[in-house]
Structure 1
Amino acid sequence: MLCLNVDTGEVEHKQFVDIIDLIDEGDLLIFNNTRVIPARLFGQKETGGKVEVLIERVLEDQTAMVHMRSSKSPKSGAILTLEGGLKVEVIGRKEALFHIKFIAEGNVFDLLEQYGHMPLPPYIDRPDEEQDKERYQTVYNEKPGAVAAPTAGLHFDEAILQTLSQKGVQTAFVTLHVGAGTFQPVRVDNIEEHQMHAEYAEVPQDVVDKVLATKKAGKRVIAVGTTSVRSLESAAQASNETIEAFMSDTNIFIYPGYEFKVVDAMITNFHLPESTLMMLISAFADREKVMAAYAAAIEEEYRFFSYGDAMFIHHE
């Protein structure tokens, strides 16, 4: 784990288990408890052409919004036959996303567990394996709906969480169902023109209460992962005060110049250079310091991206 002091730019190299010593009694760790669903489906169109479906969001009434990859986009009314004989109907389209309906009995999440594949990030160049269904999950996952793991949380195991609890570190859970757009690079020259994808986020009232009490006590709110950061800052944007309960879509785009209202420190993985996630980190820690830290990480042969190593970004 690389530790970056955003005030001094100092970089330290530690093991992740050392996080126990870096977080103080009374500090509040906030995790994203989303669960990754087997959101990738393969099949064919009525013409016999191959089609790949990636669930973006499960809706009510057996429907979902999806990304679709095929030689020619299917039209409304088209029936797709997926692996295992599962059938879906294309019932509409909204910009890049298709609206589909599952022609099957049972809960959509159960159908995905039966027929779906884990949506590994595009830079993991191998087929998904059965063990990815649990390996690509945090130990505290609870609410199904994400198509990518909040990967900073993968570093925490039950032993570390228990030790932190015994030390008097508080924990709380938000939910942000990570969408496929999390991997999209910024393709505009002016970053203010970049349109963030919308994702559903929940910051319950009990989390708000813990945040306010932690701030009042002079302790730190530490977000585990950029999705937790975006959830908390979305809840702050919705409030005239500091933060309020939040249950809505968010397309918050955090880039240099943004003033953080809730998060005092964060734990995150190493990100792709042109990603919105890298911009979020640069907003918190100053881009020059971030790039210097990344250079140090490369020199020390840190592992990058989803199954890679962590950073702890903090103030003095």
Structure 2
Amino acid sequence: MKPARWPVDQPEEGRLLHVEPREGRLTDARVADLPSLLRDGDLLVVNDAATFPASLLGRTVLGERIELRLLSQEPDGTWLAVLFGAGDWRKRTEDRPTPPAMPAGTRFTVVGLPVRVVEVLPPSPRFLRVAFEEEGAGLWSALYQGGRPVQYAHTLAPLSLWHVQTGYGARPWATEAPSAGLPLTWNLLLTLRRRGVRLASLTHATGLSSTGDEALDALLPRPERSDIPAATVAQVEATRAAGGRVVAVGTTVVRALEGRAAMNGGRLVAGESVTDLLLGPGFVPRVVSGLFTGMHEPGTSHFALLQAFCSRTLLREASAHAEARGYLGHEFGDSCLLLDA
């Protein structure tokens, strides 16, 4: 499936493949048709994490060019990060040169910020826990002034931060955009509300999708933090009690809701937590009825996640159908709705 190379001007006109797992039916539609595919009383849950500039160019003390991509902030204020050699997004991650060795204690600079390697983590010498000398507002100011959004070689030109924000982004928790929500304009969300579809949100710290290092990519997604408001829990419970369906916008929302429920014997509880839940074949969702997401090809980690909602056979059929009809993949691509009618 060809990747979409740039954000579209009218995301509601993007293509939408409706997959009905129980009937095995595939229907071509548009994102603008989403209100007619959901019911009065359904609940659409979005991830309102804003995307922060997590791609940081810098140099070693010897002047060697490097790139540090932040993965997540730890409770003690340190960061998990992935190191890349010289270059930028124009070269595929798997083709980037090997970065210099950075043992614990090594110091370097990115976007004008001094950084210290706290720890090198398995399974790759590129996987680091680092500490910035700057903290708080000073750190975030430097990140936003000098950092760039994480992007990959299929894109046409340098992305601005606003290209990777959903219309409802709030706290800057996302290393990469929770991209399933990019097509959801405020006009579309208001139309959904008028049709009786309820809207709720949570915040989930979306991490990196690829590093180009096979051993490291096998660990993705890493444990990620979520914050589920009490109002969202109440809406989920009311929707299910009334026979409505809970539809997640993106696999991060599924991971947040199902991970939180799994920690509490199937009961959804409000608050902040970290989940290491991995979705895939054999996983039976307890909270979520359906999924609105991007187009994902067989062999990708996201494709495996979708098998919690649909059989591998039907997903492969859907992927072949989409490719034959010119659907586009990746973060700015077309959409898929996995939901029985």
TM-score, with structure 1 as normaliser: 0.89
Partner of 1:313: 338
CA distance in 2, matches of 1:16, 1:234: 28
Structure 1 pair 169/195, CA: closer, same or farther in 2 (3 Å)? closer
| Cα drift, residue 61 of structure 1 | 7.1
Classify 1:81/1:175 alpha carbon distance in 2 versus 1 (closer, same or farther; 3 Å). Answer: same
CA distance, structure 2, for counterparts of residue 246 and residue 230 of structure 1: 15
The aligned runs of 1:256-267 (5 Å cut-off) are 256-267=281-292
SS of residue in 2 equivalent to 1:285: coil
Deviation at 1:163, TM superposition (A): 1.3
Alignment partner of 1:56 is 2:87 = no
Q: CA RMSD in A?
A: 2.3
Which residue of 196, 201, 212 corresponds with 2:237?
212
Q: Is contact 1:235-1:246 (8 Å) kept?
A: no
Distance 1:126 1:65 in 2: 28
Indicate whether 1:112 and 2:140 are aligned. Answer: no
Q: Find the counterpart in structure 1 of residue 117 from structure 2.
A: 90
State the Cα distance separating 1:48 from its structure 2 match.
1.7
In 1, Cα distance between equivalents of 2:213 and 2:26? 27
Residue by residue over 1:123-146, the C-alpha shift from the partner in whole angstroms, topping out at 9 and shown as x without a partner, is: 5355533xx301111000001021
Distance, in Å, in 1 between the alignment partners of 2:321 and 2:188 is 26
Question: Counterpart in 1 of 2:133?
Answer: 103
Note closer, same or farther for the CA distance 1:118–1:6 as it changes in structure 2 (3 Å cut): same
Residues 222 and 265 in structure 1, CA contact (< 8 A), matched pair in contact too: yes
CA separation in 1, counterparts of 2:265 and 2:118? Answer: 40
CA separation of 1:86 and 1:264: change in aligned 2, threshold 3 A: same
2:15 is the counterpart of 1:15: no
**Match for 1:216: what amino acid?**
A
Counterpart position of 2:299: 274
Q: SS of the counterpart of 1:302?
A: coil
Compared CA separation, residues 274 and 92, structure 1 to 2 (3 A): same
Structure 1 residues 250 and 185, CA gap change in structure 2 (3 angstroms):
farther
Question: What is the aligned partner in structure 2 of residue 2 from structure 1?
Answer: 17
Contact 2:207 2:221 in 1 (8 A): no
| SS at 1:26 equivalent | coil
In the TM superposition, residue 218 of structure 1 has moved relative to its aligned partner by 0.4
Q: Secondary structure at the match of 2:308?
A: helix
Q: In the alignment, what sits opposite 1:157?
A: 185
Asked if the contact 1:223–1:265 (Cα under 8 Å) also holds between the matched residues in 2, the reply is yes
| Runs of at least 5 residues in structure 1 that lack an aligned partner in the other structure | none
**Structure 1 stretch displaced more, 234-243 or 306-315:** 234-243
The Cα of 1:90 is off from its aligned counterpart by: 2.4
1:79-133 CA deviation, whole Å, 9 max, x = no partner? 21334x332222333334323232346442222101101101x35355533xx30
Letter in 1 for 2:188: I
Q: Which amino acid aligns with 1:239?
A: N
Structure 1 contact 4–11 (Cα < 8 Å) conserved: yes
- 2:106 pairs with 1:78: yes
Contact 2:260 2:273 in 1 (8 A): no
Within the candidate set 76, 81, 98, 1:66 is matched to: 81
Correspondence for 1:166: 194
Q: What are the residue-to-residue correspondences of 1:175-214 with 2, within 5 Å?
A: 175-180=203-208, 182-183=209-210, 196-214=221-239
2:174 equivalent to 1:146:
yes
CA positional deviation for 1:187: 6.5
Contact 1:62–1:108 (8 Å) recurs in 2: no
Say if 1:268 and 1:59 are closer, same or farther in 2 by CA, change over 3 A: same
Shift of residue 170 of structure 1? 0.8
C-alpha distance in 2 between matches for 1:100 and 1:277: 28
How many Å apart are 1:173 and its aligned residue?
Answer: 0.7
Check whether the contact 1:185–1:276 (CA below 8 A) recurs between aligned residues. Answer: no
For residues 127 and 48 of structure 1, the distance between their equivalents in structure 2, rounded to whole angstroms, comes to 26
Measure the CA separation in 2 of the matches of 1:260 and 1:22: 21
Letter in 1 for 2:292: I
Aligned residues: 307
